[in-house]
Amino acid sequence: MLRVQIIPVTHYQQNCSLVWCEQSREAALVDPGGEAQKLIDAVERSGLRLTKVLLTHGHMDHVGAAAEVARAFEVPIIGPHKEELFWLGMLDQQAQMMGFEPCEAVHPDQWLADGDTVTLGQHQLQVRHCPGHTPGHVVFVDCAAKIAFVGDVLFKGSVGRTDFPRGDQAQLVQAITTKLWPLGDDIQFVPGHGPVSTFGAERASNPFVADKNFG
C-alpha cells in the first residue's frame, strides 16, 4: 500500500508529501518547498528510507529545500520536465518576488517526460506532463493506489494560476481534461496547497474544468 503524510511548509503552506511504499519502506519527498530541517527531521522520525526527491515544477515554494534535503540523504532529484529550466534558472528572482530567503540552486539529476514512470518500492508512479501553470509542470499518479500528486495544476475548486511568464490557461485546461480526467473519477489528489479532493468531485463542480463547461 502507498502511504502519504502531508507536511505543509513555508508561509505559502505548500503541501510537501512524504510518500512511501508500506511493504518496502522506501520513501520519496514530493515538492520539498522549504524548511529543510523540518523535512529532514520528519523523514528521520519516520524510520523510512528516503531514496529520491520528486519535483512537479520549478516554483520556489515547491523546490526551495530540494537541494539541501537531497544532499542530507544522498538521493537524486527527479523531475520536473526539462522545460522547467526556465523557472529553476530564476530562483534568486523568485525568492525576492515571493518573500523567501535565497536557496541553493536546484539541478535535477533526471528530467521527466510525459509517459515516464518512477518506481517507489512496489509502486509505479506514472508521469503526466501538464503544462499551463508552468511550461514543464508534471503530475505523479499511482493508478493502483488511486492517488495523484498534482502540484499547482489543480486544486479543490480551482486551478493553477496562468498569469506568470509562459503560463497558458487554455493549455492548462486541456492538460487537466485530457491527461488527468481519463485516469478515473476515483483518483484522490494532493494539490500543492489546500485540501485534497478527487478528480470526480472537480469534474462535477470545479468552475474552471467541470464537465458542464464543455457541453
**Tell me, what CATH number does 207's domain have?**
3.60.15.10
Proportion of the chain above pLDDT 90, given as a percent: 96
Q: Tell me how many domains the chain contains.
A: 1
Residue 102: asked if its preceding bond is cis (omega within 30°), the reply is no
Answer whether residue 215 shows pLDDT above 90: no
Take residue 29 and report the three cell numbers written for it: 519527498
| Residue-range definition of the domain harbouring residue 94 | 2-214
Going by their DSSP bridges, the two strands 138-142 and 147-151 should be labelled as antiparallel
Answer whether residue 193 shows pLDDT above 90: yes
Per DSSP, 198 falls in state: E
**Environment class of 9 (CB within 10 Å of its CB; exposed 0-12, middle 13-18, buried 19+):** buried
Q: What is the pLDDT of residues 48-85, one digit of tens each?
A: 999 999 999 999 999 999 999 999 999 999 999 999 99
Take residue 159 and report the three cell numbers written for it: 486551478
Place of cell 501553470: 133
* 3-state DSSP assignment of residue 64: coil
Answer whether residue 165 shows pLDDT above 90: yes
User: Which residues pair with residue 91 across a beta bridge?
Assistant: none
Cα angle for residues 24, 36, 13 (degrees, 5° grid)? 95
- Of 183 and 215, the one with more pLDDT: 183
Proportion of the chain above pLDDT 70, given as a percent: 100
| Mutual angle of helices 36-46 and 66-73, in 10-degree steps | 40
Cβ neighbors of 94 (< 8 A, separation 6 or more) are 59, 60, 87, 100
